Amino acid sequence: MAVITAEAMIIMLFAAGAWLIWKRAASAVLRRVRLRRKLVRKGVRTSSRRSAMLPLCMLLFAAVFLSAFRYCSLLQSGLIAFLAAAIPILAFAAAQERAKRLAGTEGLSLVSELLRQYRAGSRNIYDAMEGCLESGADLRASRKQLSLLLIRLREAGSRDAVSAACARFSTSIGTSWAAMLSSCLETAVLKGVDISEGLSDIAEQLKESRKLLEERKRMNSEAVRMSVFLVPALYGGTMLICSGFLGMEVRDILRNQFSSAAGITLFLISVFLFLFNVVVLQAVESSGRDL
């Protein structure tokens, strides 16, 4: 009978916990990959920043690996290069989650203003979108996406082009309410039916989501402050303690930190885990602004 060691059990529990936390995010990534391939087949361009991220990380990996290989072993060089290449990806992911969070906060304002303009404009979806863009509503993150959608819809010459434009609008914001809104807009453009009830239902769901968000913000505020502010302060405090109480020169501390394999590896692991934590917190906070 096979015996499961404590180490194997910890790894299994960690894997199970990671799957429970990230299964929705993994499925969302797969859906976005399928949608991006569909848009590429239809001739719709995807984000240039995302497409440039992979070559940049590969170049960074190669440069760091070749530089570290002069002083470290093959395994250590690979680990250092992997961590260095992963840091820009995590920083980009954190920026994307922050943009998603900002867009999520504007969901209720966007849908409510669009519904008001839609009812005032005799159920004309094009006039409603133009009125929404010209209004004084606070749409800093989603105004650009809505204006691009309006331009693409006016230039669309087929049903596939309309569907691709609405799908791109949904993907650019990346929330459930954006997917529902794009579906309503696509229906209004292609079939000309009244979507007032659909927009009203999305607005009601966003109001309920905002109530849950306030409660979640109160629960997670301490974790956010500790992760974003306390961790860098602890690193700087450690440097001061080494200099003030252990009698080490700052020059020697920096040399040991960045001129040795163990020091640079520990530093990159710390930065990697810090950014990973920021991404997780941004994702959790963004999920509270979704339906």
Please write the tens of the pLDDT for every residue from 241-269.
877 777 778 788 788 777 777 777 788 88
pLDDT at 42 over 50: no
What residue ranges do the domains of the chain occupy?
107-209
pLDDT over threshold 80, residue 134: yes
pLDDT at 19: 67
| pLDDT band at residue 290 using 50, 70 and 90 as cut-offs | low
The answer to whether the CB of 118 falls within 8 A of the CB of 125 is: yes
pLDDT at 43: 45
Residues 6+ away with beta carbon under 8 Å from 80: 64, 65, 68, 72, 261, 264, 265, 268
User: CB–CB of 83/269 below 8 Å?
Assistant: yes
Kindly list the distances between the CA atom of residue 163 and the CA atoms of 19, 35, 36, 147, 168, in Å, as whole numbers in the listed order.
Answer: 33, 11, 13, 16, 9
Structure confidence at residue 8 as a pLDDT band (50, 70, 90): low
Place of tokens 């391939």: 37
Average pLDDT value over all residues in the chain: 76
Count the helix, strand and coil residues of the chain and give each as a percent rounded to the nearest 5.
85, 0, 15
Give the global pTM: 0.53
Cα-Cα end-to-end distance for the chain: 48
CA 265, CA 282: separation in Å to the nearest integer? 26
pLDDT digits (tens, 9 = 90+) for 272-289: 888 787 777 766 665 555
Residue 103's pLDDT band, with cuts at 50, 70 and 90, is: low
pLDDT, mean of residues 191-202: 88
Please state, in angstroms and rounded to a whole number, the distance separating the CA atoms of residues 74 and 69: 6
